[in-house]
Structure 1
Amino acid sequence: MKKKISLLLCTLTVVFALAGCSGKDSGVEYDQATIEEATEFLISYCSTADDTTIEQWNSLSDEQLDIQMAQSGYPFTGDSFLSSMDAWQAGVDECGAYEGHGDFTYDASQTQLSVTTTAQFADREANLEVIYKADVRGNLHLDSLTVSGIYSMGEVLSKAGLNTLLGMGTVFCVLIIICVIISLLKYIPKLQEAFSRKNTAAPAPEISTAQASEAPAQSAPDQPAPETQAEAEDVTDDSELAAVIAAAIAASEEVPADGFIVRSIRRRKSNKWI
């Protein structure tokens, strides 16, 4: 019985020892006083910096920022310091003017240290989280600052309802537009048919310059028809034709040809002889 009890005690001792070792090695090493001082300075500076000060910091070069951070003595970098000020300004726009904060809570992991607290702003409270990351040598440097507003259940539900309404409204608007477009598709064949009719219509005849110069009289409105010209044509001088006609008439009437005189010859409109 004594052996069993002693074996149990030895087992518990080993377990607690391993747990203690694992807990010690699980987080990065840090000086709480140094980290607290750096965090207090960061919050204080961000809460008092105005737009002009932030603009001056943004106008500095990377080398100048690194020099300023090194002279401050805090574990800050230029990029992380500027991003922290921007995040603070966004939190002020969301939660109102800064009023104060509570005690810090430290949570260390193998690669970073998280410092959190609850801050009071004019409109609502917010959770402040400052993260320090460890480099290759194990030294901590500022990585980011986050200001998260604390909303009540009613505010959360109202925001969720508004987001849902906006999302569904956008979807329904898009669906209505699609329905309108689909309803207009029935007019496409008619438009195509109208355009095809215009394209297949016979073009007007083109008259070249040579044709226009050869027949100018045809376009003139006062030019008489060819038949009228034939009727008005004078054929009294055609003696041979008159002699033939006179001989034909004399033969048919059985009278001498000297008894007929042809005064004029006119062409009938019809080609048939009566």
Structure 2
Amino acid sequence: MKKLLVILGMITCMACLAACGEEEAQSGPISQEQAVQIGTTIVDQMNTIVSQGAIEQYVDQPVLYSGFQGWESALKDIGTYEGVSGGSVSFMDDEVAININVLGSSHDADVEIVLDDALATYIGITTNVHYSTGEIMAKAGMNTLIGMGTVFAVLILISLIISCFTFISKFEKQKKQEAPAPAVAAPVVEQTAANEELSDDTELVAVIAAAIAAYEGAASTDGFVVRSIRKSNKSKWQNA
């Protein structure tokens, strides 16, 4: 971290001296050549730090730490770092964006370094690898295949779950059929109606006997024989 700060301070001083010595006003705090020189120095130092495995020393500096991690990840596609081939600079409100073209053994890349207008504070460092059209299409096709495969896998899983419901319903029906039916209670023959009919006949006989005894002036009904009177079938009387 100290090395980068020292280098950045030296670059700032050089930029200030160069700006003071120029006769024509610049559109920004630094010129194109100065921006490329600053960016090249930063990229070289970043590659050295990553190659030495000293990234963790900058964990307390989020911008630098993130930039170094991005460079380390990009080196897998860049291959061997072979230097730079120029760059460009653009000025925004309070920021200076330096874009450096990086050469690699496998792929080239662009490193964008964003500083404040005083060139004293890092705002962001991003590495973008250049891929050929064929590589981009291959990655897009691979992503499409992965997405379609995931969708089909989910659909197959849903179909299997739905088919399991059919087996569950069949199992429940079979279980209900195998369950023993409850025993049916034997019908109870009620004799209430017959008993009531016999009671009615006895009362009728007693009433008739009392009426006859009163008519003949007898004191009791002992001389009479009480017999049950049974109701005759109405259909026979009608036929007669």
Q: Quickly name the TM-score band, shorter chain normalised.
A: 0.5 to 0.7
Match among 88, 95, 98 for residue 115 of structure 1: 98
The superposition leaves residues 136-188 of structure 1 with CA deviations (integer Å, 9 ceiling, x where unpaired) of xx665211111111111111111111111111111112111111211221122
Matched residue count: 156
Post-superposition Cα deviations, 1:98-133, rounded to whole Å, max 9, x if no partner, equal: 111122201111132211122111111112211124
- 1:175 to 1:118, Cα distance in 2 relative to 1, 3 A: same
**Gap runs ≥5 in structure 1:** 1-23, 63-77, 203-274
Output the CA distance in 1 between the equivalents of 2:56 and 2:132.
Answer: 34
2: CA distance between counterparts of 1:82 and 1:91?
14
2:154 to 174, 189, 192: 174
State the match for 1:41 in structure 2. 41
Q: Structure 2: which 5+ residue stretches go unaligned?
A: 1-24, 183-240
Aligned to 2:67: 84
SS in 2 for 1:103: strand
Partner of 1:185: helix, strand, or coil? helix
Give 1:192 shift.
3.7
Instruction: Give the match's secondary structure for 2:29.
Output: coil
| Correspondence list, 1:34-183, <5 A | 35-49=35-49, 50=51, 52-58=53-59, 62=60, 78-134=61-117, 141-183=121-163
* Aligned counterparts of 1:145 and 1:139: Cα–Cα separation in 2: 14
Query: For 1:220-259, what aligned pairs fall within 5 Å after superposition?
Result: none
Tell me, yes or no, if the aligned pair for 1:30 and 1:140 is still in contact at 8 Å: no
- Residue 41 to residue 193, structure 1, CA distance change in 2 (3 Å): same
Alpha-carbon spacing, 1:35–1:194, altered in 2? closer, same or farther (3 Å) = same
Distance 2:151 2:145 in 1: 10
1:39 positional shift: 2.6
Q: 2:109·2:129 contact (CA, 8 Å) conserved in 1?
A: yes
For the 8 Å contact 2:58–2:64, the answer to whether it is kept is no
